[in-house]
Amino acid sequence: MTDVAGAGPGPRELRLAAVDPDAARDHVPGQPDMWAFVLFEAFLFTAYFTVYMVCRVQDPELYLRSQAQLDLRIGAFNTLVLLTSSWSVARCVQSAREGEFRSALTNAFLTLAFGLVFLVSKVLEWAHEIEKGFGFSSDEFFSFYYFLTAMHFLHLLIGFVVLGVVVHQLWSPARRSQELVETGATYWHTVDFLWVIIFALLYVMR
Amino acid sequence: MSGAESGTVPARPSGSLLRKIAWHWRHDEKRELWIGWWTLVVFYNLYGLLFFVVARTQPPPSPSLAPAEIVQWFDDRHHGLIYGYAIVFIVGGATAIMNATLAYTMRRMSVSRAFAYSYLVIYALATLPGMLLMGVTCTVAAMRPDRDPALMSWLYDLAFLSFEGTMGVFLIGSLIWMVAVLLDENRVFPKWFGYLSLCNALTEVVIAPAWIFKDGVFAWDGAIAWWIDMVVFVTYTTVFLTLIRRLILREDFGTGVLPDLPSEREAAEAAREPSGLLGTAG
């Protein structure tokens, strides 16, 4: 794998920034460009959520009836797993800032493992719903259910590539760009943040 | 060889627009790049005008129209389809210059040439479902309005499924550009453009349900499959046209890092020496 260009300051500079309160206050975690991506995605998903809400308001009975077919416990389990993965990726960033790269790597792999648990549980949930006869075109609620969860699934798959870049950076002392580690963590948090809203809209809201 | 290379370049005239254009044509060493950029700008504007105003095939009509309504739909647009798409077929070849300009941005990066070549091939193929197939199908339907309504419905579906439903072709193109921007060390484009390309690529995926639904938000005229994607596409296009213009202004025809624009360089130097400025002011 090639180094991603524009790696920015190394771990030493950012460790100094973490110690110096003024520098820490001025420091935006990761590439500022990734925050632009967070903004683009926030706009895009806001548009999807708005369309979902508008459709739901037009036929609330159908949405409630179909929503009852989903297992809230699976949604809650998914949320718990992703929130834990956010916690481990945050620990990964913190360890890298402190120069504890073994610990940072362990936390990056933990994040990958939590992500995998989420993916497997989501595939099993889809298979279960399809077995019950609720497919992508069964009704409007299930169209949104598969659409939103599949879009999120795609983001999570990209998240594995992003975590691969983080692991690649942490692996060798010749790389270890703190900026890229934080950029990867920012992406992962975004995926987590999107899931929390999807969970609330699809599973919880009555 | 341009005048700039011959070493006898007259000063840029300050008179009429025509004289300025003539000067650029004869002496500007970036002449070919500007031709490519202007082709992009003119083509995208013309494309919008022809598809939205003249042929009126965009925004797309409903996939669930009855055969009689489809015949009426073609009849309402008869002249727009015939003349609008005649112009599309005349200017369609401009995509070669456009694609070359887009590929040039990747050739100027520090990445492998494979990125630019892959992009060129994908976008050369994409011209067929992204423009020509719909034009041919709509004009075939418009040319003989007395055809069997069942045949007209067949042409209608082919036109819109080939145009709206095949946007996934552009998915890989956007991803290639994204990876090239993120790996590039020559600062050709800002990294956020790479992430915006990812955002654009993901919206290409969203169109796939148009093959399944005949109505609702996922159909080919739906809020999610068409309207939101169109907003992202227009934003993305405006952004890359602006960034390519900046690239041409910054181009030094070297192989290393692209220099900043002179105004930005001066601002950066001024920011690096605040005491000097304050001293002058004082």
The ipTM value here is 0.85
Residue that has been written with the tokens 């004009």 in this structure: B139
Q: Which of B182, B196, B202 sits opposite A154 (nearest CB)?
A: B202
- Model confidence over B243-255: pLDDT tens digits? 999 999 999 998 9
Confidence of residue A137 (pLDDT cuts 50, 70, 90): very high
Q: pTM score, two decimals?
A: 0.86
- Nearby residues of B262 by Cβ (< 8 Å), 6 or more positions away: none
Chain A residues with beta carbon closer than 8 angstroms to that of B180? none
CB contact under 8 A, A48 and B228: yes
Query: Considering only CA atoms, which of A154, A168, A67 is closest in space to residue A109?
Result: A168
Q: Which residues 221-240 of B have a C-beta within 8 angstroms of A?
A: 223-224, 228, 231-232
The separation between CA A164 and the C-alpha centre of its own chain, rounded to angstroms, equals 14
Average confidence (pLDDT) over A41-64: 96
Determine, for residues A51 and B228 on separate chains, whether the beta-carbon distance falls below 8 Å: yes
Q: Do A36 and B224 touch (CB under 8 A)?
A: no
Closest chain A C-alpha to B6 CA, distance in angstroms: 37
A-to-B residue pairs, Cβ atoms closer than 8 angstroms: 68
- Give exposure, B100-125, as e/b (b: 16+ Cβ within 10 Å): bbbbbbbebbebeeebbebbbebbee
Res. A167: pLDDT tops 50: yes
* Residue B279 pLDDT: 38
| Domains of chain A and any CATH numbers | 33-204 (1.20.120.80)
Comparing alpha-carbon positions, the chain B residue that sits nearest to A47 is: B228
What pLDDT was estimated at residue B7? 57
pLDDT 10s digits, B85-99: 999 999 989 999 999
**Tokens representing A8?**
């920015």
CB–CB contact B182 A44 (8 Å): no
For residues A81-109, average pLDDT? 95
Residue A169 has pLDDT above 90, yes or no: yes
pLDDT band at residue A143, thresholds of 50, 70 and 90?
A: very high
Cβ proximity of A82 and A152 under 8 Å: no
Name which residue leads in pLDDT, A118 or B171: A118
Residue, of B87 and A174, whose pLDDT is higher: B87
What is the model's pLDDT at position A26? Answer: 65
Identify the band that residue B113 occupies on the pLDDT scale cut at 50, 70 and 90: very high
pLDDT digits (tens, 9 = 90+) for B21-44: 888 888 888 999 999 999 999 999
CA-based nearest distance A96→chain B, Å: 22
**Greatest C-alpha distance within chain B:** 85
What is the mean pLDDT of the segment spanning A24-44? 86
Q: Confidence class of residue A1 from pLDDT cuts 50, 70 and 90?
A: very low
Other Cβ atoms less than 10 A from the Cβ of A29: the count is 18
pLDDT in tens, B172-210: 999 999 999 999 999 999 999 999 999 999 998 898 899
Q: From the CA of B212, how many Å to the nearest CA of chain A?
A: 8
Chain B 167-186, CB below 8 Å of chain A: which residues? 182-185
* Domain regions of chain B by residue span: 15-262
Tokens for B197? 């390309």
